[in-house]
Structure 1
Amino acid sequence: MGGQVTGIATIRIDGGEIPSERGATLNPGGVNRTTRMAGRRVYYNEEPVAPTLQCTVLHTPEIDLIELGKIRDATVLVECDNGQDYMLTGAFVTETTELNTGEGQVRLNMAARTCERIN
């Protein structure tokens, strides 16, 4: 059985599409488990992990570097070209935005309260 593999994702923040390059990374969050051993018995601890999104935004005339850095409590939609869509709620920027003038790119790192598949 075959099917399309995600190659392009469209990213929308509060309804507006941002011009992002290929290669965005979406981590839907969940838990990390750490193995604990007691003799030959295996146990684990769980640590919650927040959903995150990392992408590279093209610095076009419509993109305000300072406004990008102020994003908080946003709804972010990640639309994959294989038909799956994911929604992050309560999203916020986790690091200051940084402009690479040689490439015309802005690094954007975000975290969110929740991530769910909506399609």
Structure 2
Amino acid sequence: MGQRVAGTAYIKVDGAQLVVTGGAEAPLMDVKRETVYAGFYKEEKLAPYLKMTVLHELGFPIKTLTQGTDMTVTCEFSNGKVYVLSGAYMVDEPVSKGDDGSIELQFDGIKGVWQ
């Protein structure tokens, strides 16, 4: 029997649903580990984030996304897993692409939790 592990993801930002066209990604860990010597490692704290490609459709909430500094972003993946990012804000320089109507977004936040 097959198991669905990929496909459509659903994104909500403070309750407003975005139309996702590309993949969505979220980190599995909140630290980055690097081996210093066999059996010894160091850890670096990472900011939780969510990345996705969305459509710049008619009801796109530009003001909410660009001015929000304490948002809740929820991503429901096709496999049923859900990632919730709290204290979220947009980072980088998102742009609307006229050729395909897409926008690549990245939200960083205070806490990311897998449910």
- Asked whether the two chains share a fold, i.e. TM above 0.5, the reply is yes
Q: Where do residues 14-93 of structure 1 align in structure 2 (5 Å cutoff)? A: 14-37=14-37, 42-65=39-62, 67-93=64-90
Contact 1:91–1:113 (Cα < 8 Å) also in 2: yes
What is the CA-CA distance between 1:25 and the residue it aligns to? 1.4
What is the CA-CA distance between 1:22 and the residue it aligns to? 3.1
Supply the RMSD in Å over aligned alpha carbons: 1.9
Percent of matched pairs sharing the same residue: 31
Mark the structure with the bigger radius of gyration.
Answer: 1
Tell me which moved more, 8-17 or 57-66.
57-66
CA distance in 2, matches of 1:74, 1:29: 21
What is the CA-CA distance between 1:106 and the residue it aligns to? 1.2
Number of matched residues? Answer: 115
Matched residue of 1:69: which SS? helix
CA distance in 2, matches of 1:29, 1:76: 17
Taking a change above 3 Å as real, the CA distance of residues 82 and 53 of structure 1, as seen in their structure-2 partners, is same
TM-score, normalized by length of structure 2?
0.86
Aligned match of 2:9: 9
- Which structure has greater strand proportion? 1
- Deviating beyond 3 angstroms after TM superposition, the runs of 4 or more aligned structure 1 residues are 64-67
Amino acid at match of 2:34: T
